[in-house]
Structure 1
């Protein structure tokens, strides 16, 4: 039976790189200048501590309408990652010392060991490499592809190892300049990506609550996307 990663943990690990995104853009670059993966990774690399708000939209056949989540990601120190959901419920997920702990009001906390799940350990290691700008470390776990220009780019990560690929089909980062604006994560069983908006895209999502609007902001086509 295939083991599934808890949604909160998968979402957290697959979006932890957003903590590296600065709030300001880099100096404008010419649209004709093709972007390289090394340039993107260099812009995303930032030391702890970091924190940023996020807006996420989850779609499921079990839901009548997409579930909108908002809250904050924090990286208080190297090796500690925190994802705090504030709306529509309160839930905190913390990754520390090789364990992921999920706490929700009114319920007992749950703790999962990363060492007992190779796919979780792989995600943690690969995103540690991403945050430090270590392309060679990231390339151990993913095939890396970049597209676009420095003012409108995408970075696609495709898992190389079977245990990770069984949980994550691919992860697509989308940004402008040094600003990471959206992360799309797809599982092997679902063509529809889970989207997490941040920075300017998250702020522009204040009045957007439908999947099409989220997709437009993620891809840089919606109101406030510029």
Structure 2
């Protein structure tokens, strides 16, 4: 069950353009750019690699935040599945199967991520630092922000999250578990570019550089 929820860090970091006065990489400025009023939605393309898979698993869909306390992850390809996070509960709906519900408190690492949700939506660097150490690198035109969990239980599952972007736009989130392969999640225009390109998309380049063609 835990592998299913490896997408959660990514969904908490959906981004929209906002004012950025910093000339270089600054974690506070990057986090301010993460703040986005609700309702909001952003497309995503997620690629998972594993020795257990003959080829990488590619998921396409959309993250939606209908209100400040709700997050919806809607997978549209290669299957249809909707996951809703609200009030500390997770609800999983998939065609042809009974709806599943469970409390996020059952998984300490998910509870910690849920606590970070409000901080990310508000662009609150102080609150986010309660859960992660932050390290920004690069330039305004090409920046990276690394988040390393402080909580031991979370760190036992998650090594780090690295956000890649340029200016006010987030291109990609790389989620690296404590064990196993990293997972790339393209967001916004980078996800749209990957969808247009289909199976020929260079996921690594889009993650690093975004949709250069614009």
TM-score by length of 2: 0.91
RMSD between superposed Cα atoms in Å: 2.1
- State the Cα distance separating 1:62 from its structure 2 match: 1.5
| Counterpart position of 2:9 | 14
Q: In the alignment, does 2:152 pair up with 1:155?
A: no
- Supply the distance in 1 between the matched residues of 2:20 and 2:32 (Cα, whole angstroms): 14
| Counterpart position of 1:54 | 44
Residue-by-residue CA offset, 1:140-179 (whole Å, 9 max, x unaligned): 1111000111221111100111111112110011111111
Q: In the alignment, does 2:90 pair up with 1:110?
A: no
- State the Cα distance separating 1:111 from its structure 2 match: 1.5
Distance 1:74 1:97, change over 3 A: same
- Supply the distance in 2 between the matched residues of 1:25 and 1:123 (Cα, whole angstroms): 24
- State the Cα distance separating 1:15 from its structure 2 match: 1.2
- State the Cα distance separating 1:107 from its structure 2 match: 1.2
Match of 2:177 among 183, 187, 205: 187
Residue-by-residue CA offset, 1:22-53 (whole Å, 9 max, x unaligned): 2x575798xxx421111101111112211011
- Supply the distance in 2 between the matched residues of 1:83 and 1:10 (Cα, whole angstroms): 12
Distance 1:203 1:108, change over 3 A: same
Q: In the alignment, does 2:192 pair up with 1:196?
A: no
Match of 1:174 among 145, 164, 175: 164
Q: In the alignment, does 2:64 pair up with 1:64?
A: no
TM-score by length of 1: 0.86
- Supply the distance in 1 between the matched residues of 2:97 and 2:143 (Cα, whole angstroms): 41
| Counterpart position of 2:2 | 5
- State the Cα distance separating 1:127 from its structure 2 match: 2.8
| Counterpart position of 1:84 | 74
| Counterpart position of 2:121 | 131
- Supply the distance in 2 between the matched residues of 1:52 and 1:63 (Cα, whole angstroms): 27
Where do 5+ consecutive residues of structure 1 fail to align?
A: none
Query: Would the aligned equivalents of 1:48 and 1:78 in 2 still touch at CA under 8 Å?
Result: yes
Query: May I ask how many residue pairs the two structures share in their alignment?
Result: 213
Query: Would the aligned equivalents of 1:102 and 1:110 in 2 still touch at CA under 8 Å?
Result: yes
- Supply the distance in 2 between the matched residues of 1:203 and 1:27 (Cα, whole angstroms): 23
